Amino acid sequence: MEGQLLISGPTFASLCYDIARSERDIKGIFFGRSKQSIVVTIEDTHKEQEQIINTTIIQSFVLFGKNQKNSSFVSNDSKIDRKMIQDIINSKQKNQEIMLGWFSFRRNTVLRPSIKEIFIHQQISDFLIKEQKLPILPIFAIMNEYLSAQKSTVSFDYRFLVFDQKVKNYLPVQIEVLNLKETTSEEYSQFSSVTSFSGLSQLHPFSAISQNVDKKKGVSVFIDPTPPNFTHNVEKLFIQTCDQMNEIITEYEKKVRDIKKIQNQIDKLKK
């Protein structure tokens, strides 16, 4: 079984922003959707081969730590708070999102699971696979920030992992940042990405974006002096713009087909 792991551009940008402004190490939970599709390939021998592909997209996250709504989902003795996690999962059901895994951010360290993180991931895997019936292997991401040798620049690095029971080891997973210019309309149409960031309540208090979408007049954007949730509004505008572009493409393709039909009729009349 093969799979593809994606994260939406606005979600990844929001995650990097929150991590960069954190004062200490933090943890968080990933939410999103997973979809299975069957791809049929025909070999040279005319033999059909079916392949199951999991497409998983990370659409939102919840942060834990200082200055966050939830201080931690892990106790001092490294045991996860299943009730707290279940409450957050229930709150995400309105967006049809499931828990996909978790992440740990720590500065100036190597991208390798610690003994504590291994113990935490074992509990989360047991919770997601046995109780939540997660169709994929739970994701664990390690994130790191460090100064260059000259202390002139700050670098951000990350590594996404899954624990494979067959080899009894953590395996790296390639993740792709899903941006509009790099994808097709089919990839966006697989998911209705209305995302709620519960960990982004304190953003830059200079402005917030509001939008008014009218299918006939297009998208109008204006700056509102009140800042309820800057990043959430940006992503909503982003998704709505993508939906409008898909509608325009569909309408354009229909007109092209109509013109082709008319041209064929004209050619028949000429004969």
pLDDT for 53 beyond 90: no
Given pLDDT bands bounded at 50, 70 and 90, which one contains residue 245?
A: confident
Mean predicted confidence (pLDDT) in 221-237: 53
Fold of 2-196: Cytidine Deaminase; domain 2 (3.40.140)
Give pLDDT, residue 104. Answer: 94
pTM across the whole model: 0.63
The values of phi and psi at residue 198, to 5°, are -80, -15
Residue 215 clears pLDDT 50, i.e. is over it: no
pLDDT-wise least confident of 9-13, 175-179, 214-218, 249-253: 214-218
Q: What is the pLDDT of residues 178-205, one digit of tens each?
A: 875 555 444 444 444 433 333 333 333 3
pLDDT score for 66? 58
For the cut 60, the answer to whether the pLDDT of residue 235 exceeds it is yes
Predicted confidence at residue 271, as pLDDT, reads: 73
Buried/exposed code over 208-224 (b: 16+ C-beta within 10 A; e: otherwise): bbebeeeeeeeeeeeee
**DSSP 3-state assignment of 109?**
coil
The full set of domain ranges for the chain reads 2-196
Structure tokens of 67? Answer: 């200055």
Q: How many residues does the chain have?
A: 271
Averaged pLDDT for residues 162-166: 90
Amino acid at residue number 196: S
Average pLDDT (37-63) is: 80
Query: Between β-strands 154-164 and 169-173, what pairing exists: parallel, antiparallel or unpaired?
Result: antiparallel
* Spatial CB neighbours of 29, under 8 Å, sequence gap ≥ 6: 61, 62, 64, 73, 85, 88, 99, 101, 102, 103
The pLDDT of residue 58 is above 90 = yes
* pLDDT above 70: percentage of residues in the chain: 75
Q: What is the pLDDT averaged over residues 67-86?
A: 83
> Each residue of 110-159: pLDDT tens digit?
899 999 999 999 999 999 999 999 989 999 999 998 877 777 777 888 99
